[in-house]
Amino acid sequence: MHIVDVFEYAASPDEVFAMMTDEEFIERKCAAQHASNYSASVQFLGDDEARAVATRELPTKGFPDFVRSLVGNSIRVVETVEWAPARFDGGRTGRLTVTMGSAPIGLTGTITLEAGGLGTIVTYDANLKAKVPFVGGKVEQAAKPTLLTGMRKELETGQAWLDGQ
């Protein structure tokens, strides 16, 4: 299932990249997503590349029963973004990978930062895939709202971060 979400920050792409590679910000977004347990790590590679990893334990309370039967009462989500160097215009792209515990479901795609709009346009473009025979599409449909809510929580947390709150 293809998922695209676009939002804007009133900050430059460099400022948004700095935020998205700050361990404290990553931990704040995990807390905003109601994670019961979370950690963040950022590793800078070379002059202008980074690898940011957020690991969190999320409740599955709102999931349909058939999904909860696959994953249990909580799920360990690991989000990895491997950021490429900035382009000449300050924009950049990160390769996004999200795994969900031992569940046969994951998300792969990109996050793109581009100058524009209020300052930076952030585009998530990813594919959600559940490798479950016969019910994979239902699992993807069930997971999509949770992923989109998580992206919106990141936006809210990012806006507060950039506003100095």
pLDDT tens figures, 57-111: 988 777 777 667 777 788 899 999 999 999 998 899 999 999 987 777 889 999 9
**Residue linked to tokens 């569940």:** 103
For range 115-124, the mean pLDDT: 95
CA distance 14 to 1: 31
CA 66-69-73 angle, 5° bins? 120
* pLDDT > 70? residue 165: no
CA distance 130 to 94: 22
Query: Domain residue spans in the chain?
Result: 2-162
- Residues near 44 by Cβ (< 8 Å), separated by ≥ 6? 21, 50
H or E element at residue 38: strand 37-45
The answer regarding whether domain 2-162 maps to CATH 3.30.530.20 reads yes
The pTM score is: 0.88
Helix segments in 2-128, DSSP class H = 13-20, 23-32, 65-71
From start to end of 131-165, where are the E strands? none
